Chains A and B, each alone.
Chain A
Amino acid sequence: VNNRPLVRKIIYIACIGVLIIPLSMIALPPTRNEAGNTQSGVISQLRDEYNLSQAKLSEIDPASETMKLASLGLRGVAVNILWLQADEHKKNQNYDQLRSTLRALTKIQPSFVKVWEYQAHNLAYNVSMEFDDYEYRYSWVKKGLEFLKQGVPYNKRDHRVTDSIGFFTGNKFGKSDEHLSFRRLFRADNEFHDAMADRIDPEDYEGPYGHDSWMMAYQWYNLSRELVDVQGAPRYRSDMMFYMYRPAQRRNYGMALQEEFPSDQIIQEVYRDAYEEWIEYGNQPLTVGAGLNFTLEGLAAAEDELAEYRNQLDELVGPEVRASMLAELGDDLLSEEEQLLVNAPADQLSPDDARKAQAIRTRLASIDDRLDGRVALAASEGDRPEANRLALKIQGTKNKVRRIMQDAQTVNYPYWRARNRMESEDATVAAHQALEEAENVWRNSIYDDEYDFDYRTKEKTVTRKGAITLFEEAFARWAPILEENPELGDGQLADSLMDSVQEYRKMLAFANLEWPDDFPLQSLVDERAQDGTLDGIPTSEMLEQRKADREAIDGEATDPPAKKDVQAKLPATEQQRSEQRFELTIPIDEDQPKKQATGETKGNGD
């Protein structure tokens, strides 16, 4: 009885001892026994299964674990204090301290992906732009990337980290205002490439022109792909977006090289790879919520399928049913005025009318949607089930087609498909080279041709072509390319072509020459006329007007018709132009001050 406390203590200790055995068995970290099999406790297995934290001893970061333990369960408080501190450091521009605070912060919450993303963005974007010297800006972008890279081992099964590194790498080095300087530094920055070498092999993003930032981005996206496709990690993006990023880097690579180096076969090859991979992306099965499976390349197939089902349905109910129903519906629904609106060309409508026309089209589309169902209803009693089945199929396929079109538009699929294909063709390389040559000559302010004139034979031999001629030749090369690829009429390539056209226009004005009647890229100019960004470049309409004016003047002319004949016979264009310059009726700058202003702003913004 006297020893009761002692007995109690012994019992307690014994209980603890007994409980420790199952506890240690449950919590056993994975170890390898003599036979080479891995043994681990239930908790480790569960952790591993659900990827909750570092399950293997070798993966545990002692610094991180110590910090977590040292906060004595007040992790949330510690995190808040560190965040406040980080903000304070940023406010006071103590960027070194900011970085070390972030380091501590991510040691405490290493598996919180958004923290890595947010703070890396802070370093690579917000802090880097605070520096006046572009070399420092570059180094802070790198610091942001290196910081984000530290988050990879803590979030091994989260592709968002590698995705973000890819995005920051591409976007910051390749698209910021300083991108030319940044990319030049990047190529020579072996220190940075070595620092990244534990995750991606620098050789993998080294091209003929050296290490490339876009291809580095490609490699990071590639890691994300491997993570999801090979290792089965969860995906936090839609199929369409997730699979789009990697192939997109190849064409960015091509475009960056085009900006930095003269066009050549190397760049052509880059675009060829980009095209192949873009097509691969187009063939990648994409899934959306409702179990709808499709590929972006499958648009034609889906449309064929739709037509096929409709044929089958029409055959079932009789071919005349659909036509009569459509006529009936159309007549009923559209007044004469509405029909006029729908059929009018888009550029002739006022914004108000355009809206009305769009509403009518939407209404018609919904009629079209229901049409197949109605047609199916017209089937005879016996064919009804088959007709209904077909109507359902049609509806499904129609959804699919719509979805493909919508998604393809979101990622600009047709444009990049055409662009990559076009850029990998010899004709385009030649066109680029012609334009580059013209621009080089233009930069040296050589506008007119240089020629030898033989006084005896009156023959001219051009010894060196001036920028005007070279531009005209280059545009002539571009015209068929644009004609073949109408998708390219709107986009970055067309923009840069329009910049060249603008340079050409200024040169003509400077040399007191008239806009040619047969300008090769006139259709591109006309398309652009609708945006109001022409800035004085004459449209076809204006040229027509000019022609009409000229004819009218010629008709009214009191001079004897002989002069006309003389004029018509004149062979040299220069001479012709120099006489015609007095007849110039095209408004260039003065008549369109407003348009010019908008054009100027847009031009600078590009």
Chain B
Amino acid sequence: MIVEQQAFATFYEWVINNAAQFGIVVAAAIVLGVFFGYIVATLRHGPFEAFYVVAQVVGQALPDFINTSPRRVFAIARLAIKEALRRKIILVTFGIFAISLLFGGWFMNYKSDHPDRIYINFVMFGTQLLVLMMGMLISSFSLPEDIKNKTIYTVVTKPVRPTEIVIGKIVGFGILGTFLLVLMGSISYLFVWRGLSHDHLIAGDTQTLASFTEVGSDFRSQVTGERVSESAIRDAETNMKDDHNHRLELRVDIRDPDEPEPLQTSNIIETIELPDGRIEYHRVVCVSSAGHVHQVFVEGQGQDATISLGPSVGFFRARVPIYADELQFYDRQGQINEKGISVGRESRYRGYVDGGDYRNRSNLSKAEFTFTNFDASLFSATAEGETGFVPLELTLDVFRSYKGDIEKRVTAGIQFESIGQDVRFVSDMQDFETEEFSIQTVTIPRKLVGKVYSQDGSLLREGKFDLFDDYAKNGQLKLVLKCRDYNQYLGVAKADVYFRSGDHPYLLNFIKGYTGIWCQMMIIISLGVALSTFLSAPITMLGALVVIIIGFFSNFIQGMTAPDHVGGGPIESMIRVVTQQNMVLEMDTGVTTTLVKNIDLGLIYLLNATTYLAPDFSRLNFAEYLTYGYAINSQKVAIALTLTLAFCFGLTIVGYFALKTREIAK
């Protein structure tokens, strides 16, 4: 589950970091454009005449752009929409989308642990593919067809500027695409929602406690043989729906009279007052299965109370994580270890923390997360008051160096420390069993038991201290993660541990996700229009397709062109394939190898350069966030929109000059 590979820059940081580069690229583009134009003009008119021609074209450009009339742009846009509608590409696209949704169920794996991920992936990928194809088709066929059929003359003979033609086309197709995207997005939303909504009944004769069975003495369900929670006394199963069912547990919750009432009361089936004044609550809890739970409702009290399950909870999430600013690993000796221990996993995403061994109990291996700007205002109501808590979510990987206790999960421990204060707050280690390959929530009480040390290390006092007001008084907090089982390892990456400040509305997140697709579509439409001003329709389409492919695989291509890529460049790889040589073996030294390697260097450089021709679509793709249920940061959306605007503007200029040089638009 890798959502956030590395820390991302905020919008302002991004703009500041990239503004200079952007400026250089624009300047270089202008110089190259003028130079290229001059060469073309020289071939046509000779060197002296060319100078005037270029000057004239450049001179006209500025007024053309300044005097662009929105009214005329929209007129052209209206024409573009009409023309595209007449081509029926939109209709066909929508038809394919509808059919794929109708029969999508055939290809989807309902029996997944996370059906929501499969659904979202399916609709997002389908929409993206279809919308981009549509954008490519309508934009690349429009102008060349007009020119071929000479219908362009009915437009250019009117007082319109080339800018207006290019922008009008982009806007027109953009409006149409947006309309289609909104339609597809709404239907997708309904499709996902409908596909995932379901309810369950308790398996058994009645919908009461009578269908429950006593839990075995070893904390094992007698119904399924699975482990139950320690406070469970009875359990039952629900019926199967969409290839999954849930286990229901009757849990006991004993509270002191001075403790506050439980927050959730809808699932309390019995309240017993104990002789010593404490209150025992019996509540029915639904255990998570297929990535969700159901809220339990109880009508009545005691054995005859009717138990019912509400709609699923947990599918449509937009978690807002508060990530650490820094992650530092330490080895057993307490020395800094940059990437953590490697346990030999192919993916190097996570670093590992060592659990030590019984001969080496003072194990100093740990992962330290540093949070800055951490305060109570980031959290919603849960963190308030004396009994408030802060949800911490973790996605840990466990690596066992030996099987150990098979029926017990590996234990992890977390601890909080203050940074840079006059005194040092250190909380007690909080141990918990890890849950691999899922987002595990550990609730951190706001009042944490711990110790306070002075600067010289002497213990000042012990007691309960406030997470925000004491530990993170200056807004800085250190979270220490340790592996608490000997000879076992815990894998963690920076994005694996975060405080969950709350949830964003899912619909808003969904819209943000589709905004990413919209950005991609607009770039493709602009590209299609720009290319079609000087290329024929099939070539334009091919060009757009190449850009899409490069855009989507730019990371892959850059990976292949990295200096440490195993197997060498294209020719070397080909030689290895044909001669069946091992990828990691060095080639025999000699003239041929030197020659091949040098040619490869050139080819790799060229290949790498192509990735800069296309926008990095991974920056515009937010599907992963929706799939895994994380809120899409608005800064990211802003970056995507800015990137799109920059590309559209740049392509409009290209389109303008290209059209200008053609006789039709003079």
Contacts and interface: CB of A to CB of B under 8 A. Distances in A.
Contacts of A95: 437
Given A92-B349, A188-B225, A178 B113 contact: no
A187 B225 contact: yes
A135 interface: yes
Interface in A156-190: 177-178, 181, 184-185, 187-189
B644 interface: no
B631 interface: no
B256 to A, nearest CB: 33
B240 interface: yes
Contacts of A97: 117, 121
Nearest to A63: B106
Given A92-B349, A96-B113, A132 B410 contact: yes
Contacts of A453: none
Contacts of B111: 143, 146
Contact of B118 (A91, A100, A178): A100
A371 interface: no
B106 A66 contact: yes
Interface in B425-470: 434-437
B2 A92 contact: yes
Nearest to A64: B106
A94 interface: yes
Interface in B397-425: 397-398, 400, 403, 406-407, 409-410
Contact of A131 (B109, B118, B437): B437
A100 B437 contact: no
A379 B524 CA distance: 97
Interface in B327-360: 346-347, 349
B210 interface: no
Contacts of B48: none
A133 B106 contact: no
A93 B436 CA distance: 11
A348 to B, nearest CB: 41
A66 B437 contact: no
Nearest to A100: B109
A185 B222 CA distance: 10
B409 A94 contact: no
Given A66-B106, A93-B397, A134 B407 contact: yes
Interface string B106-118: 1111011110011
Contacts of B112: 96, 99-100
Given A146-B111, A187-B225, A188-B223, A91 B346 contact: yes
Interface string A101-115: 001100100000000
A133 B103 contact: no
B107 A133 contact: no
A67 interface: yes
B216 to A, nearest CB: 10
B113 A133 contact: no
A191 interface: yes
B400 to A, nearest CB: 7
Contact of A185 (B117, B225, B409, B436): B225
Contacts of B117: 96-97
A93 B347 CA distance: 9
B225 A136 contact: no
A606 to B, nearest CB: 15
Contacts of A555: none
Interface in A111-145: 130-136, 143
A96 B118 contact: yes
A189 B346 contact: no
A131 B403 CA distance: 11
Nearest to B240: A191
Contacts of B224: 185, 188-189, 191
Contact of B114 (A67, A96, A184): A96
Nearest to B243: A195
Interface residues of A, number: 34
B77 to A, nearest CB: 35
A571 interface: no
Contacts of B106: 62-63, 66
A184 B240 contact: no
A185 B224 CA distance: 7
Contacts of A185: 224-226
Contacts of B434: 132
Interface in A64-89: 66-67
A132 B398 contact: yes
Contacts of B221: 188
B107 A103 contact: yes
Contacts of A94: 1-2
A181 B113 CA distance: 22
A202 to B, nearest CB: 15
A427 B220 CA distance: 37
Interface residues of B, number: 38
B349 A131 contact: no
Question: Interface centre among B113, B223, B435, by most A CB within 10 Å?
Answer: B113
B406 A107 contact: no
B225 A189 contact: yes
Interface string B1-29: 11000000000000000000000000000
B382 to A, nearest CB: 27
A181 B407 contact: yes
A134 B118 CA distance: 25
Interface in B199-249: 221-227, 240, 245
A60 to B, nearest CB: 13
Nearest to B398: A132
Given A133-B409, A185-B226, A191 B103 contact: no
Nearest to A92: B347
A133 to B, nearest CB: 5
B107 A67 contact: yes
Question: Interface centre among A93, A103, A188, by most B CB within 10 Å?
Answer: A93
Interface in A412-449: none
B227 to A, nearest CB: 7
B347 A107 contact: no
Contacts of B349: 92
B113 A135 contact: no
Contacts of A181: 406-407
A164 B349 CA distance: 34
A132 B221 CA distance: 20
Contacts of A107: 107
A178 B406 contact: yes
Interface in B78-135: 103, 106-109, 111-114, 117-118, 121
Contacts of B103: 62-63, 66
B171 to A, nearest CB: 34
Contact of A136 (B107, B222, B436): B436
A132 B400 contact: yes
A130 B398 CA distance: 8
Contacts of A146: 111
B403 A177 contact: yes
B9 to A, nearest CB: 24
Contact of A104 (B107, B245, B346, B436): B107
Contacts of A100: 108-109, 112, 118
A103 B104 CA distance: 13
Nearest to B226: A135
Contact of A191 (B1, B113, B245, B409): B245
14 contacts: A96-B113, A97-B117, A131-B436, A132-B400, A132-B410, A133-B409, A134-B407, A135-B227, A181-B407, A184-B225, A185-B225, A187-B225, A188-B223, A188-B224
Given A66-B103, A96-B118, 17 more contacts: A62-B103, A91-B347, A92-B349, A93-B397, A96-B113, A96-B114, A97-B117, A97-B121, A100-B109, A132-B400, A132-B409, A132-B436, A134-B407, A136-B436, A181-B406, A181-B407, A185-B226
Interface of B: 1-2, 103, 106-109, 111-114, 117-118, 121, 221-227, 240, 245, 346-347, 349, 397-398, 400, 403, 406-407, 409-410, 434-437
Q: Which 7 A-B pairs have CB atoms at the shortest separation, nearest pair first?
A: A188-B225, A63-B106, A132-B398, A100-B109, A185-B225, A132-B436, A91-B346
